[in-house]
Amino acid sequence: MRDLVQHDGVYYKKFSNVPFSGKVTGPFNGLITNGKREGAWICYYAGGQLHYKGNYKKGKMEGEWITYHRKGQLNSKGNYKNGKREGEWVVYSGNGIPYKSKTGTFKNGVKIGD
Q: What is the pLDDT of residues 9-38, one digit of tens each?
A: 999 999 999 999 999 999 999 999 999 999
What's residue 36's pLDDT?
Answer: 98
- Bridge partners (DSSP) listed for residue 30: 24
- Report the C-alpha gap between 34 and 20 in whole angstroms: 6
- Residue of 63, 82, 75, 84 whose CA lies nearest to 103: 75
Q: What is the DSSP string of 93-109?
A: -TTSPBPTTT-EEEETT
**CATH class for the region spanning 4-112:** mainly beta
Q: Based on the number of CB atoms within 10 Å of its own CB, is 20 exposed (0-12), middle (13-18) or buried (19 or more)?
A: buried
DSSP-assigned letter for residue 54:
E
Strand-pair category, 60-68 with 74-81: antiparallel
Q: Reply yes or no on whether the pLDDT at 101 is more than 90.
A: no
What is the pTM assigned to this prediction? 0.89
For residue 114, what pLDDT is reported?
A: 72
